[in-house]
Structure 1
Amino acid sequence: MTATKIQTAASDPVRQVPHLFWGAGFAAASVAVLLVLGFVINPAQPYAFDAWILRALRHPDAPAVPMGPVWLKGAMIDITALGGGTVLTLVVLITVGMLLVSRKWTTALLVAAGTVSGSLAVSTAKEIAARPRPEVVPHLVEVTTQSFPSGHSANSAIIYLTIATLLTQTTGADARRTYLFAVVAALVTLIGVSRVYLGVHWPTDVLAGWSFGTLWALAWWRIGKWLRIHHHAAIPDDEIAAL
């Protein structure tokens, strides 16, 4: 592939992450800074709105009963499972397998490295923060690990968003890429909301998870971009052209 073709592919705006996602990254960074400042000031005390939101999602006279129609509790339990370790592991394995079958070695390696390292970082952060689970309302699902950040929120953002951003480097058609981001953003949002609805996380746990996952996905998109541009000689032409 000629240098001109590589330069054209690299500068093609259709191959870039949508501007809305960069906006989400800026918002994530802002939220992360606020949460860090809050923990520095008083690490043991949750924000006032944390408890208020948890109580607002339950019936005042029956805190074990969530607000909303009867079917909503089951739906939230199903949705929260989409951010669990089993489902996310399967998603990564299926995605990496499909990329390997498609001979997109670089993207497969980036997806595997980005998602695994991100999950390890979340586990480490939970142990360091050691924030207890909220006891304001009864938990509607069983939990065993620490609370901050929300593992479901962080890992779903890390895995779904990292996969989505890296696939934009091998996917044409702006409409398809926009649709992919919209679906992933909605899924990650619902998973985080489900954790608060089920009473197993403070809202700030979820905000921190979303922030970390979004920034992590953007970081790995930049790593992939840099790798494809500066080491194009070792990358197949079809992957370089997908920049």
Structure 2
Amino acid sequence: MTGQTTHDDVPAAGAMPMLGLGTWQNEDPEQCTESVRAALEMGYRHVDTAKAYHNESAVGDGIAAAAVPREEVFLATKVWAGDLAYEDVIESAERLGVETIDLLYIHWPSHAYDPEETLPAFDELLDRGVIDRVGVSNFTPEQIERAQEVLDAPLFANQVEMHPYLKQEELRAFAAEDDLNLVAYSPLGRGTVLDDDTLAEIAAKHDASVAQVSLAWLREKDVTAIPKATSEAHIQDNFESVSLDLDDADIAAIDAIDRTDRQIHPDWAPDSW
């Protein structure tokens, strides 16, 4: 897909690495800053945040504190659903303390979201050089198609919940046909997949952790994962998934897991979920 790399290669300037650090619920400023710094110095080059996470400033501080040039870091954030009026979108891009945001998402297609008002603001930010790419999050295929009709800019990514208990077959097929990057939040199912027997057997076979297996499965599906982690041990464990190669039997076994368990479903989520 356009603009994606794995950590097996040196990322091209501005490319989106297929493993990133998620920062949802990492609201303690010092902890968040340290997590971002540690992840970047460990080798991560993709950090994901959002206004709703209440940590954008701390993420910016972590990027500044790391011994990694800013131009090597792919930084993504999201505009909250209540801030999607034109002027609110413009203002939202100023909180991270960085000159350019690599990817700015619409967090949810709800609340103040109005394609005709919201999306021109994203085009404006792109024209000004404030952002490099436009993304959406939690969008259905129909909502993506409507956004593409309004946007002048190409739509780069859709960020959704995805893990072995929520395989997102329809969205993956749509993304592949539309050359759209799919980014997985909660790629460990908020911990639910860690007790799965199938994943545990595959992990034992490869002398890996269950978390690494889940993340490697997503990579095999051409999906970028952004697992949240705060401790250096968990950040390191997730990062080691980039060297785990699953075989066809492993992929088939995970694909065959007969369980659907969505973790994130607010009342105002799209009706067609």
Q: TM-score, normalised by structure 2?
A: 0.24
Q: Report which of the two has the higher share of helix.
A: 1
Which structure has more strand as a fraction of its residues? 2
Structure having the higher Rg: 1
